[in-house]
Structure 1
Amino acid sequence: MIIQSLLDTDLYKFTMMQVVLHHFPGANVEYRFRCRTPGVNLAKHVDEIRGEIKHLVGLQFKEAELQYMRGLRFIKSDFVDFLGIFRLNQKYLSIEPTVDGGIELSIKGPWLHTILFEIPLLAIINEVYFRNLVADADLAEGRQRLRAKIDLVASDADFDNLRIADYGTRRRFSRAWQEEVLLGLRDGLGDRFAGTSNVWYAMRHGLVPHGTMAHEYLQACQALGPRLRDSQTFALETWAREYRGDLGIALSDVYGLDAFLRDFDMFFCKLFDGARHDSGDPFAWGERMIEHWTRNRCDPRTKLMVFSDSLDFGLVMALYQRFRGRTRLAFGIGTNLMNDVGPEPLQIVIKMVRCNGAPVAKISDSPAKNMCDDAAYLAYLRQVFQIAG
């Protein structure tokens, strides 16, 4: 079966889940699946996907996995105790084929009990699709591409201080391929390889796990905060109360950069270690972040800019050359590492669309990434955060 451990997911699922346990244990949410790649028939794989889900919901955390989580400095003991009795429940999940060859997949239930579904479900759908598309896949092309990427960076002393991490679990060609790529990066890049967002592989291979918050956290705060206009500051303040200065990377694109910078005032500039870019022009974003930190009496050279939007090695190297010496830099690569073996990768997502019965949305600097099923709410959100239509 594809998923062998509940740790086979991104670290930020656990860091957000801990916040949910401590601050929003009664929140109820709804997630929806979307395939952005046209002409893909996933409906014919529904039974196979259901079989993988049946195995997934039977998993529990093993004692060694709980001890590993307990050893992470920002994970609290009561949260690990909760993980010790946690199981995913299939009653919160619905998956059906559609007449156009797609699948209708929704997750609905308590946030605390549904938050861990997203990443393994996407990994399952990806692997089921590709193992049926390319039977007995010859990964020689993928290995050649990986070696070329490693050589591109490793052979140039100008990139000695470059740090690249794997952010590709949800997009991976397969579980086995992700592990092969991780070991190849570790051996080929040395110190230039910073680690992985995947907690299971971090534990198994002594890698550094990476992750803080995702879009769903700030989206949920639209419904959980005192009022919509203050939802972004409410989310950041709640995060800071939970982690007391640790995990200090703020996600900047739930309402677009203009709205983020209006809320990310001098207090947050000094409190948070940096910010993550995940949509829009990364060069323009970087220049504006440096300008914003400077204007708010922070030395940009002490701050960290994390880039994670559709990166490949060429773009990473260009961004590194633009901003090195001006700020601290980190790069998380997903699809270009974990699903670059020949066939076109799938563009699939699972996004939160409701919290406590109210619609929630993301309005990023890349319009194709927006996902909301309530046009009236989306228009209201744009008005409240002064976002052009």
Structure 2
Amino acid sequence: DGHLDIRAQGLLYRVTLWETPILAIVSELYYRHIGATPDWTHVERVTRSKGELMRNHKATFSIFGMRRRFSFEVEDRVTSLLKESAGNCLFGTSNVHLAHKHGLRVSGTHPHEWIQFHGAIFGYKMANYVAMEDWINVYDGDLGTVLTDTYTTDVFMRNFSKKHAMLYTSLRHDSGDPAVFIDKAVRRYEELRVDPKIKYIIFSDGLSPEKAVDIQQLCGDRIKASFGIGTNFTNDVGGGVEPLNIVMKLWKCKMTAKDDWHHCVKLSDVGGKHTGDPQEIALAMTTLGIKQE
């Protein structure tokens, strides 16, 4: 039907890692197929400008741009340019190879799949809680950023305990109004008697440097902010080229090979952007007390 459909099946800790290289390959091959080429003068100019903007506003960020990049060559050059122009405000990159090549930190968070799996196996009401507990048991406080919107932020905040508020360094915002999210995060930390000023929100929802600066001002001195900026860095190549809207999500899972498959769903903070089997989405929303749109 004119759509590319790619499926990966296997053990979760292996399958999850396929998302980024698969989508990067799809994106790069698409632009080769249509004969698009980067305007390198544009890339150099806008990337330096973006890096300087972040540095001038002392806004800390990481590059989250591998999945929908124009090409490896573009991401490599953009990473080098941002390292030069943004200075210490560039915290790192989620691309492990380019982190090694350019002497940067590896920076990222766990994906929605981690919590989707827990929802399918342990139930939607306990998904965030058990997922956070399992992460803590493995990493013992390291890799301390937690995604909040797999089953909506409101549901997450009900599962976010004093223990989690202390052990996790930051919350990741990936959908919905950032101003509303800031209010909810600060309020929950205060309810748990944890000072929000020592915690971070990692914003990563379709950001540009301009949006990041605006969000940093919204945070003010209430809570710290950092940013994961992706496609705006690695697929801004001029010439009218538009980034692809491509994604991979966990669709089904089971505990052992003999078990039946369980549907896996994601409930976005933005209405109409839920993913998964429609009947399972309705079940999850009913279970969690979320009103149907």
TM-score (norm 1): 0.70
* Cα distance change, pair 146–267 in 1 and its aligned pair in 2 (3 A): same
Q: 2:275 corresponds to which letter in structure 1?
A: M
Check conservation: 2:252, 2:264, Cα contact below 8 A. yes
- Shift in Å, 1:273: 1.5
SS of alignment partner, residue 146 of structure 2:
strand
Q: 2:12 corresponds to which letter in structure 1?
A: W
Check conservation: 2:43, 2:78, Cα contact below 8 A. no
Q: 2:167 corresponds to which letter in structure 1?
A: L
Alignment size in residue pairs: 284
CA distance in 1, matches of 2:163, 2:150: 20
* Cα distance change, pair 293–112 in 1 and its aligned pair in 2 (3 A): closer
**Where does residue 109 of structure 1 map in the other structure?**
10
Please tell me whether residue 380 in structure 1 is matched to residue 283 in structure 2: yes
Match of 1:355 among 246, 249, 253: 253
- Shift in Å, 1:336: 0.6
CA distance in 1, matches of 2:36, 2:278: 42
Q: Which has the larger radius of gyration?
A: 1
TM-score (norm 2): 0.92
Q: 2:143 corresponds to which letter in structure 1?
A: L
CA distance in 2, matches of 1:135, 1:275: 37
Check conservation: 1:245, 1:272, Cα contact below 8 A. yes
SS of alignment partner, residue 352 of structure 1:
coil
What are structure 2's unaligned runs of at least 5 residues? 255-260
Deviations 1:90-115, CA, capped at 9 Å, x for gaps: xxxxxxxxxx3222222222223322
* Cα distance change, pair 102–302 in 1 and its aligned pair in 2 (3 A): same
Check conservation: 2:118, 2:130, Cα contact below 8 A. yes
Q: 1:336 corresponds to which letter in structure 2?
A: N
**Where does residue 108 of structure 2 map in the other structure?**
211
Check conservation: 1:259, 1:386, Cα contact below 8 A. no
* Seq. identity, %: 35
Q: 1:253 corresponds to which letter in structure 2?
A: D
CA distance in 2, matches of 1:214, 1:136: 31
**Where does residue 260 of structure 1 map in the other structure?**
156
- Shift in Å, 1:132: 2.4
- Shift in Å, 1:264: 0.8
Q: 1:200 corresponds to which letter in structure 2?
A: H
> Within 5 A, what are the aligned runs for 1:175-194?
175-194=72-91
**Where does residue 35 of structure 2 map in the other structure?**
134
SS of alignment partner, residue 249 of structure 2:
strand
Check conservation: 1:259, 1:385, Cα contact below 8 A. yes
- Shift in Å, 1:368: 4.9
Deviations 1:40-61, CA, capped at 9 Å, x for gaps: xxxxxxxxxxxxxxxxxxxxxx
CA distance in 1, matches of 2:115, 2:20: 18
Instruction: Give RMSD over aligned pairs.
Output: 1.5
- Shift in Å, 1:138: 2.9
